[in-house]
Amino acid sequence: MTFLRYIIGVTTYLFCISVSLAQRSRIWAEQPGTWLLHAGAGITHYTGDLAQFGNLAHLQLGGAFNLAASYRASTRLSYRIEAQLYYIYAQQKYTRNYYNNLSFRSLNPDVWGGVQVDFWPIDDPYRATIPYALVGGGLTHMTPKAIYQGQSVSLAPLQTEGIGYNRLAGIVRYGLGLPLMATERFRVNLEGTYTHVLSDYLDDVSSFYRDKTGMSAIGAALADRRAELGTTLNLPGEIRGNTGKNDGYFVVMARVVFVIITPRQRSYRRMIGR
């Protein structure tokens, strides 16, 4: 009888724990009205005038870190705002245009707001994992620099193409996400996005080589870097970049998502506070 009472006691205890965990899981389950906090880190890949599409031998990957907050408006739609710091770079010597020898690197902030749309309702009982798409717009601040004689030099003030461009540019971002795992209040997602920059000067390269008359010595040196290879300089008017396509960047990152509060949790707090 003692052994039987022990078995019954353990079984009852485990049952109570499972019921408690199930109740907690329901309290923290996402539903319309839920607020979430995100943090992500990953890798970047720049696309622009100094890159060569499909050059897998020299991907020239950078890094990114961001923080975001989202609000679930329905079982398939969430609103999201995000702030990000991303590093990108490129060296033309790894492309078919190696003879021009241009390069840049940039550590930039961006801010973005948009919507996240789940492929199926989050309460779909037949889907263990529900991918999502996101789209939105925002702003980035461009800070292209180059290494010259061992020093980091800001390129925008030099007007290497004779143009004083706006370093604050609009962005359009879209991408896909895939939840990988979830606990009571934490989610881990894998997310890939592409950001169109509404400017062709993310890399300080856009159009043509200019006449260097009146330029500073360092400006002239960084406008046309063939001299460092010992080859003939470009003539004014020769092609320096691709004016028909703006720049952009890919980001692939792992995101940790924390459930801040849900409608059921609010109700539970009100109930126990009475």
Residue ranges per domain, the chain?
31-272
Domain with residues 31-272, CATH architecture: Beta Barrel (2.40)
What is the spatial distance between Cα 69 and Cα 67, in angstroms, rounded to a whole number?
7
Which of 210, 208, 198 has its CA nearest to residue 247?
A: 198
Q: What is the pLDDT of residue 24?
A: 52
Task: Say what the pLDDT of residue 12 is.
Answer: 41
DSSP annotation string for 58-96 = G--EEEEEEEEEEEE-SSSEEEEEEEEEEEEEEEGGGST
Closest CA to 215 of 223, 207, 204: 223
What are the two backbone dihedrals, phi and then psi, of residue 110, each rounded to the nearest 5 degrees? -145, 155
Relative to beta strand 132-141, strand 103-118 is antiparallel
The tally of CA atoms less than 13 A away on the side-chain side of residue 51 is 24
pTM for the full model?
0.87
Pairing mode, if any, of strands 132-141 and 77-91? unpaired
Question: Residue 47: its pLDDT value, please?
Answer: 95
- pLDDT value of position 271: 59
Question: What single letter denotes the amino acid at residue 86?
Answer: Y
CB 198 within 8 A of CB 246: yes
pLDDT of residue 57: 78
Q: What is the pLDDT along the chain (274 residues), one digit of tens a residue?
A: 554 454 444 334 333 333 333 345 578 788 999 999 999 999 999 999 999 888 877 889 999 999 999 999 999 999 999 999 999 999 999 999 999 999 999 999 999 999 999 999 998 888 889 999 999 999 999 999 999 999 999 999 999 999 999 999 999 999 999 999 988 899 999 999 999 999 999 999 999 999 998 899 999 999 999 999 999 999 999 999 998 899 999 999 999 999 998 887 766 556 565 4
State how far the alpha carbon of 103 is from the alpha carbons of 155, 161, 272, in Å.
11, 15, 61
